[in-house]
Amino acid sequence: MCRAFLIKYAEIGIKGKNRYLFENALVQQIKYALKKCDGQFSVRKTDGRIYAEAEGDFDYEDAVARLQKVFGISAICPMVYVEDEGFESLGRMVVDYVGRTYPDRNRTFKVAARRARKSYPLDSMEMNAELGGLILDAYPEMRVDVHNPEIVIHVEVRDRIYVYSAVIPGPGGMPVGTGGKAMLLLSGGIDSPVAGWMIAKRGVKIDAVYFHAPPYTSERAKQKVVDLAAKVAAYAGPVYLHVINFTEIQLYIYDKCPHDELTIIMRRYMMRIAEHIARETECLGLITGESIGQVASQTMQSLMATDEVCGLPVYRPLIGFDKMDIVDISEKIGTYETSIQPYEDCCTIFVAKHPVTKPNVSVIRRHEHNLDEKIDELVRKALADDEVIVVR
């Protein structure tokens, strides 16, 4: 029965002098993830490895699922361990482990022993040979292949003796919190949750802003965004979701500006507001789900026009992705089902039949002057009414 996990990490292993910061962050994230499953774990770092050891019974599937959402983990190895009661008892345990773990034994294998406790009477070569022999005696259908085995049975001698062999892939990436924080413009669509997930995967903590336009967008649409934030939070940790009431700003733009420029002007105001909140909350950039050419507001010219109003870097991790690739990721991370629920988002209601696809920035700027009378006040009001929801 699995009693512990050996957690492997790839990329953070190469960070030189900062390595320990990354390792500590990963340990924190693992603790946080495992705290939510029933069962107590002690998580510790020794010899460049991280172990999560169960202190009693726990739900194995749940623990693995949670670990698979911790960025920075490259692989999860479920381990069993025994107290050191002599080599004979270890041999019996290893044979039993192989029997239970691999019902289909017509396979090649090797034993990879590691003697972290140097006082152990056998060295690693001797252990490989002895344990390999015992496995062959018990299961003659298995064959040894030291170069390219199908199964590697790891045996680690420490205070206790640990045995593991299965390797479950982790999500990769960097531990959240090692890369600063960014503000995700989160809509109810397919793209923005994927964009947030991708940046979080690089170690960045995520806050989010959603522009809500009641009564044109329903409470259900808002709830959908909260649900999506929760899906991102399962990987990225707690997300502070800012809900901004955008209705009056939208109506005012609708009233004062050419309708074919409505979307682009609206997007410029979304960026301005998002940047304002981002700066107040120490975010180092904005994130959107845009990809070149996907819709009129995502042509190179439109992206230039939206970027122009923003002083912070705007990260668009999906910029070169096809919709199909984005859908694949959203299915993998579990946001797709929520994203395709049919609630209006605020853009779809006000879109023009023929929005400009090549906006001219100076024309846009000129038309924005139509808003001079009231827009600053409306923006101030929207910011003052910011509703912050902590989504875990």
Residues contributing to the site for ligand ATP (CB under 6 A): 185-187, 189-192, 209-211, 288-290, 294-295, 297-298, 345-347
Q: Which does 97 bind (CB under 5 to 8 A by kind): ligand ATP, Mg ion, none?
A: none
In the complex with ligand ATP, which residue's Cβ is closer, 33 or 213?
A: 213
Binding partner of residue 346 among ligand ATP, Mg ion, none, CB cut-off 5 to 8 Å per kind: ligand ATP
Among 29, 165, 187, 302, interactor with Mg ion by CB under 5 A: 187
**b/e map 185-199, b = 16+ CB within 10 Å:** bbbbbbbbbbbbbbb
Which residue, among 312, 310, 334, 336, has the nearest Cα to 323 in the 3D structure?
A: 336
Residue type, 203: G
Choose between 145 and 387: whose C-beta lies nearer to ligand ATP. 387
Contact flags string 189-208 toward Mg ion, x per CB under 5 A? x-------------------
Per CB under 5 A, the segment of 26-34, 59-67, 92-100, 186-194 that binds Mg ion is 186-194
Smallest separation, CB 194 to ligand ATP (Å):
8
Q: How far is the CB of 238 from ligand ATP (least distance, A)?
A: 19
Partner in contact with 288, chosen from ligand ATP, Mg ion, none, beta carbon below 5 to 8 Å by kind? ligand ATP
Which of 135, 144, 141 is CA-nearest to residue 93? 135
Decide which of ligand ATP, Mg ion, none touches 186; Cβ closer than 5 to 8 Å per partner kind: ligand ATP
User: In sequence order, what are the beta bridge partners of 152?
Assistant: 110
Minimum Å gap between C-beta 188 and Mg ion is 7
Please say whether the beta carbons of 10 and 172 come within 8 A. yes
For the CB of residue 13, give the shortest distance to ligand ATP in the complex, in Å: 33
Token digits of residue 32 = 């946080």
Reduced to 3 DSSP states, what percent helix, strand and coil does the chain have, rounded to the nearest 5? 45, 20, 35
Residue tagged 């140097």 (tokens): 118
The structure tokens 């109810």 sit at: 188
Rounded Cα distance, 366 and 361, in Å: 9
Which does residue 197 bind out of ligand ATP, Mg ion, none, counting CB within 5 to 8 angstroms by kind? none
**Cα separation of 11 and 319, whole Å?**
24
127's contact among Mg ion, ligand ATP, none, with CB below 5 to 8 A by partner kind, is: none
Give the CA distances from residue 326 to residues 144, 191, 206, in Å, rounded to whole numbers and listed in that order: 43, 7, 19
- Whole-number minimum distance, CB 345 to Mg ion, in Å? 5
The residue sitting closest to Mg ion, measured at its beta carbon, is: 189
The residue type found at 102 is: Y
